[in-house]
Amino acid sequence: MSIPQFTTLNSTAIPLPVENIDTDQIIPARFLKATSREGFGENLFRDWRYNDEGSPNKDFVLNNPAYGGQILLAGKNFGSGSSREHAAWAIIDHGFRVVVSSFFADIFKNNALNNGLLPVQVREAFLQKLMQAVQSDAQTSITVSLEDQTIRFAGGQESFEINAYKKHCLLNGLDDIDYLLKQKDRIEAFEQKQLKT
């Protein structure tokens, strides 16, 4: 098995300048009842995206036809709360490949990377600049290069961190389970050692 490869992405972005977006907002618990990974995009940001009676909330950015693209820009501390991987699946299912924020919650970051969604963590000042650029011109083009670990747009450029192993996996579309399955001998040796102590 494999995850979708990621090398370079050129795209417009959707701005969501809210801090502390928790995974209950990304996908509310009542939509977690499926037993497959597909179809969660429909309910991405459900309670912000739709009014109580089910009509689209015109004020929410995903319902604004001016905005589109495969990059989600979000405020600080994105993906906190529940460990539900459904949050990453919903974002991907909606068509995003990158989330840019000034801070990510740990479990969300792992879940994203395990599914080929790239979390790009930038300085708060850069995020604000980028957010403003996109808010004043929805056509602002952004380039994310995993190879160079950079994100750039007409107004600036910044590099981002990623663990070398995860970068290798994403560039090549490899997943962790394949790696672990090749470690069986070592794992069994560890179990033997553990039994003796």
Partner 1 sequence: MGKTLFDKIWDSHVVDTIEDGPSVLYIDRHLIHEVTSPQAFAGLDKRGIPVFRPEKTVATADHNVPTEDQHLSIKEELSRLQVEKLAANTVKHGITYYGLGSEDQGIVHVIGPEKGITQPGRTMVCGDSHTSTHGAFGALAFGIGTSEVEMVLASQCILQTKPKRMRITVDGQVRKGVTAKDIILYIISQIGTSGGTGHFIEYAGPAITALDMEGRMTVCNMSIESGARGGMIAPDETTYNYLHGTRYAPEGDAFFQKVEQWKKLHTGKDAVFDKEYQFDARDIEPMVTYGTNPGMGVKITGQVPQPEEIPGASRGSYNKALQYMELKPGAPMIGQKVDYVFLGSCTNGRIEDLKAFAHFVKGYKKSGHITAWIVPGSKKVEQQARQEGLEEILREAGFEMRQPGCSACLAMNEDKIPRGKYAISTTNRNFEGRQGPGSRTFLASPLTAAATAITGRITDPGTFHP
* Residues in binding contact with partner 1, number by CB under 8 A: 56
Site residues for partner 1, window 71-110 (CB under 8 A)?
Answer: 75-77, 80-86, 88, 103, 105-107, 110
Among 54, 181, 192, 196, binds partner 1 (CB under 8 A): 181
Beta carbon nearer to partner 1, 11 or 109: 109
Among 186, 192, 195, 196, binds partner 1 (CB under 8 A): 186
End-to-end alpha carbon distance in the chain: 36
What residues between 13 and 42 interact with partner 1 by CB under 8 A? 17-20, 22, 24-25, 28-30, 32-37
Q: Is 95 left (phi over 0), alpha (psi -120 to 50) or beta?
A: left
Report the residue number, 16 or 133, with the smaller CB distance to partner 1.
16
- 């417009």: which residue's tokens? 12
- DSSP codes joined into one string, 58-70: TTSGGG-TT---S
- Which residue do the tokens 């403003």 mark? 132
CB nearer partner 1, residue 11 or residue 169: 169
Query: Which of the ranges 54-62, 137-145, 149-157, 182-190 carries the binding residues for partner 1, by CB under 8 A?
Result: 182-190
Q: Longest Cα pair distance anywhere in the chain, in angstroms?
A: 65
- CA dist 72 and 55 (Å) reads 23
